[in-house]
Amino acid sequence: MAATGQRPSALPREVWVIVVANFIIAVGFGLVAPALPSFARSFDVSVTAASIVVSAFAFTRLAFAPVSGRLVTRLGERKVYLTGLTIVAVTTGSCAFATHYWQLVALRGIGGIGSTMFTVSGIALLIHLTPPDVRGKASGLWGTSFLLGNVAGPLVGGGLIGISLRAPFLVYATALMVAVGTVWLFLRKSTLITPAGQHTGDVMPLRKALRDSGYIASLTSSFAGGWAVFGVRVSLVPLFITEVLHRDGAFAGTALSVFAASNVVMLMVSGRLSDRWGRKPLILFGLVVSAGGTIWFGFTETVTEFLIATVVAGLGTGTLTPPQQAAVADVIGKSRGGQVLATYQMAADVGAILGPIIAGMLADRLSFGWAFLVTGGLTVVAALVWLPARETLDRSANAVAEVVDAERPRESAQ
């Protein structure tokens, strides 16, 4: 618990700027999510082929992640962030004009390069700009902004699908350019962002991080999350709704929004609690709850039951996300960890690549139930890896911060 009179460190303005940009990005992502599988299927391809469109994006993110980490060090977080956003905007807008399946796969693949650029640089900015005693809070705010965008995005995207399967891609491209303009305008004169080539902190080698049980556990849960949330949920849930529950594509957007809203309920609470109680308890609880909701998906037969399972899975994911990201920040500390962050992101991308393909094959050859069962089972495995892992929160550092914060009112009064 915090000491009486403790004042948590304030979040810098730059953090709020990238949080707003994250919201704008998420709105666009939510627009495209319910349309992408159906748009791929409109080229008369199988469920597995439609899922590959999602995997292509994740595959190039994975392949380019190590390069992104190096670019952040050489060019600076801000420049890499803006360049990555621009690449995704151009390729996403171009998807609206695709006339063949291979064109859609290629454009999404190129977009993945830009995506990993702004993701790695964005997380690096968040970690370096946030005081240690509010890392959980900042991670929760970051996640909340993304999920709030995902609440609004699919609802609008579902409506756009009724107009055209191509319309969401054009709107997403516009949203991304708005995000580029926002970040450029408000961060162009920031004094907190270290210019390229002027970093003074030590670089944390990846091999050092890999000896940390907390980091290894974070990689495992990141992999499971990428498989379930960014892979299977995006590729299979819309198809499950249309082909098993026999609802239209617009309802797929509603279901994704329900999941996102359930995330939002827990994100800020979980982030703040992880700064007080530690990262590990909340991660374990979130993994177990998320696994239960995901497995339940495959056994639902009614829309009501499916939505309840969606809420359960969303609450679990929202609980584990902020402390998991804060745990990685704890491991890195004050060091520069471009490759450490890139590898963490790569773990999620590997899951997002394999998830849609393997789960899609299971759905084609066995059933959707098996696809969701395997997905939930991987989340349970991640929880088992976290059980013996260390708690990354440095409670002694927090205690020092509490004392310092408690003394500030006295100093101000003197």
Radius of gyration of the chain (CA): 21
The model's pLDDT over 114-132, given as tens digits with 9 standing for 90+, comes to: 888 888 888 777 777 777 6
Q: Residue 315 has what DSSP assignment?
A: H
Which of 106, 59, 65 is CA-nearest to residue 84?
65
CA-based nearest residue to 280, from 307, 331, 320, 340 = 320
Instruction: Delineate the domains of the chain, giving CATH numbers in brackets.
Output: 13-413 (1.20.1250.20)
Residue 224 near residue 379, CB atoms below 8 Å: yes
Taking the CA atoms of residue 363, residue 372, residue 352 and residue 347 in that order, the dihedral angle to the nearest 10 degrees is -140
Distance of CA 190 to the CA centre of its chain: 25
Please report the pLDDT score of residue 303 as a whole number: 80
pLDDT at 384 over 90: yes
Mean pLDDT of 57-77: 78
> What pLDDT is stored for residue 155 in this prediction?
66
How many other C-beta atoms are found inside a 10 Å radius of the C-beta of residue 182? 17
Residue bearing the bigger pLDDT, 406 or 241: 241
CA distance 19 to 149: 11
286 contacts 318 by C-beta, under 8 angstroms: yes
Q: Averaged over 130-159, what is the pLDDT?
A: 71
Tens digits of residue pLDDT in 160-219: 766 777 878 888 888 888 888 888 887 776 655 655 555 555 667 777 888 888 899 989
Prediction pTM value: 0.69
Task: Dihedral sign for Cα 387, 388, 394, 395, please.
Answer: positive
In this prediction, residues 140-152 reach a mean pLDDT of: 73
The tokens for 349 are 């991308």
Per-residue pLDDT band for 5 (boundaries 50, 70, 90) equals very low
